[in-house]
């Protein structure tokens, strides 16, 4: 069985772009919900003072993340004028093709870098027992 992949990215929100960003977030969540039923969790979080945004996604496996990068790529572009992406962190093992797409996303949305953390030990209980 392949392991779940946790994706986390962090961005600063451009001054004066919060309202437009919130509309883009709602549209993106609706799009992903409708087109990616395999995704276990997908959330956008804003800091208390609305200056930072964090995206957290939990994929059941690397294939799900690869599909997300393919299907979501055109949608990600709408965020270029609203944020400056500072970091992408991936927890789990993903193929080089996915890493390349993540690097492209980081470059398109800001000056961020991509960091991968491989699982050393652990377990997941998604869906119960």
Q: What number of H helices and E strands is found in the chain? A: 3, 5
Separation of alpha carbons 112 and 108, rounded Å: 9
Give the domain extent around 82: 5-117
Residue 124 is assigned to a structural domain of this protein: no
Residue 48 is assigned to a structural domain of this protein: yes
The pTM assigned to this predicted structure is 0.93
Q: What is the pLDDT along the chain (129 residues), one digit of tens a residue?
A: 478 999 999 999 999 999 999 999 999 999 999 999 999 999 999 999 999 999 999 999 999 999 999 998 889 999 999 999 999 999 999 999 999 999 999 999 998 899 999 999 988 887 654
Residue 21 DSSP class = H
Residue 19 is assigned to a structural domain of this protein: yes
Residue 13 is assigned to a structural domain of this protein: yes
Residue 44 is assigned to a structural domain of this protein: yes
Question: What was the pLDDT predicted at 127?
Answer: 64
Question: What was the pLDDT predicted at 2?
Answer: 75
Compute the Cα dihedral for 33, 103, 81, 57 and give only its sign: positive
Residue 96 is assigned to a structural domain of this protein: yes
What is the CATH number for 107? Answer: 3.30.70.100
What is the dihedral angle through the alpha carbons of 96, 101, 105, 107, rounded to the nearest 10 degrees?
A: 60
Question: What was the pLDDT predicted at 59?
Answer: 96
Residue 123 is assigned to a structural domain of this protein: no
Question: What was the pLDDT predicted at 99?
Answer: 95
Residue 122 is assigned to a structural domain of this protein: no
Could you give the number of structural domains in the chain? 1
């Amino acid at each position: 069985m392949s392991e779940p992949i946790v994706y986390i990215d962090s961005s600063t929100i451009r001054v004066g772009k919060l309202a437009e960003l919130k509309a883009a977030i709602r549209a993106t969540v609706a799009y992903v919900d409708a087109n990616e039923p395999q995704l276990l969790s997908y959330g956008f979080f804003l800091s208390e003072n609305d200056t930072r945004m964090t995206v957290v996604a939990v994929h059941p496996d690397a294939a799900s993340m690869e599909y997300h990068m393919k299907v979501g790529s055109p949608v990600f572009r709408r965020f270029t004028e609203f944020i400056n992406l500072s970091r992408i962190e991936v927890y789990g093992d993903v193929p080089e093709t996915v890493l390349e797409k993540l690097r492209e996303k980081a470059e398109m949305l800001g000056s961020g870098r991509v960091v991968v953390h491989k699982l050393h030990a652990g377990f997941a209980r998604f869906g119960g027992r």
